[in-house]
Amino acid sequence: MLYSKTCLGGMVTAPHHLAAQAGAQILREGGNAVEAMVAAAATIAVVYPHMNGIGGDGFWLISEPGQDPVAIRACGPSAALATKGFYAEHGYGAIPTRGPHAALTVAGAVGGWSAALDYARRFGRALPLPVLLADAIRHAQAGVPVTRSQHELTRDKWAELKDQPGFASTYAADGIPAQGKVLKQSALAASLSRLAEAGLDDFYRGDLAQRLAAGLEATGSPLRRSDLEAFRAQVVKPLMVQLTSGRVYNLPPPTQGVSALMIIGLFDRLGVTRAEGFEHIHGLVEATKRAFILRNQHVTDPAHMSVDASHWLLDGALDQEARQIDMQRAAPWPHPAKPGDTIWMGAADAQGRVVSYIQSIFWEFGSGVVVPETGIVWQNRGASFTLDEGANQLQPGKLPFHTLNPSLARLNDGRTLAYGTMGGEGQPQTQAAVFTRHVLFGQNLQAAVSAPRWLLGRTWGDVSTNLKLEGRVPPAIIDALRRAGHEVQVVEDYTDLMGHAGAVCVHPDGVIEGATDPRADGVCAGL
């Protein structure tokens, strides 16, 4: 039997153990959950560079006892020069997914760290930035062993990454690195040290910003210093869905947070009473289809949306959508899928504050472009724009669609639960699996994370749009899903394809509970 970890003094869960331990060290030094998350976020950018980095975006949910949860949107817009004409002039019929022309949006993650720390000042004494970034800088200077997933993704994507500016010299100086080979990132250590000394704003409006802008322009990116200077992360009101078990929060557009909330809101209406059976999987898959159809039609930069996504979470709207679900037959699929690559982490402190955080560079290693002399790999999030008509058509200064969506629940029994995962299209599906198993059906939190998972559609590194199930799903259930009309593909157990999930929960009595995914390299680091 699998059991979650528990403690009283605070906890950080992350898909790499060094990131979790960096966050826990901040808690030991008297820091709060937000400060712990900044330390973990900086460290995960160093030790898991294929999944995320400071050249990417981030989204926060922060829960403080007695206060409404707060969301921080730290995603950057497209460059002022990123127009349809720019790409036509360079001979593109679609935005490329790799290279300098894929590096077309501002990286917002560091601005999000700054906004979160500004919010956390209300908690009392603040730890200095050099303390928060110390572990990240140390690991970048001394080096870290390459993980299995970094080795495999470098190998699998080598043809499209090896010739991108700065990629091979940064991550594969001697060829594709073997698992366990020590990777040192001295240029990234210097960039992080500059942020520790000069402040996080230096990323956008200081010396580091100057180097980033000059380096990006030199490689051919449309980003300029004026794009960096104009960026500010935004504190926004999170979306919320009311369930029979409590309230669940997620980020508003341009993220797919509304999809994660819709799925569990619809499932709450289906009358399923048992986990892991046909009705559980089928019901969540069919709810996913209803949520994704609306998402694909409408979700983009909220300044360009003609509908209010929060209306989809009202009781009447969910009731109407739930009535469209046939609990015996699968609705037709596929619809266009949304890929993505990222990490999720959770933190809680002894004062009951809880953070749900997600950080991403979109695809593995993002654009593949490492900005000269900075060690910073830049995201390719702008590749989610289209040059054709549609909700996500490219415009200068527009926010791209984001698969990123951290979740946080305040349950009727007094628990506060932060949970999330990486995995593009799979993020809201895995969140729904973990939430329903643990909250609705009473599974232990670690068991809910470790249990067999499924994925409708594609995720990072994959192009098919069928229903994929890990091989541990019982054959009788697989057969029942096929008879209902699902196009089923059985994949290997504990595959990265199903994402790297995690959760942290604060109980009313102060006990902190955490879970981490055996599919990743992480731990729950508690005090």
| Catalytic pick among 105, 342, 374, 459 | 342
Q: Are 104 and 227 in contact (CB under 8 A)?
A: no
Dihedral, CA atoms, 393, 397, 403, 404, nearest 10 degrees? -170
Distances, alpha carbon 449 to alpha carbons 199, 202, 352, 461, 501, in Å: 37, 38, 22, 22, 6
At 57, list the tokens.
């975006």
Distances, alpha carbon 316 to alpha carbons 136, 266, 279, in Å: 47, 11, 23
* Nearest-angstrom CA–CA distance, 139 and 481: 46
* Residue 286: how many other CB atoms lie within 10 Å: 26
Query: 3-state DSSP helix/strand/coil percent for the chain, to nearest 5?
Result: 40, 20, 40
Closest CA to 505 of 298, 313, 355: 355
Q: Are 77 and 106 in contact (CB under 8 A)?
A: yes
* Residues, the chain: 527
436 is catalytic: no
Torsion 433-434-440-446 (CA) sign = positive
* Nearest-angstrom CA–CA distance, 443 and 436: 9
At 258, list the tokens.
């509304």
* 3 state SS of 516: strand
At 489, list the tokens.
């593909």
* Nearest-angstrom CA–CA distance, 72 and 80: 23
List the catalytic residues: 342
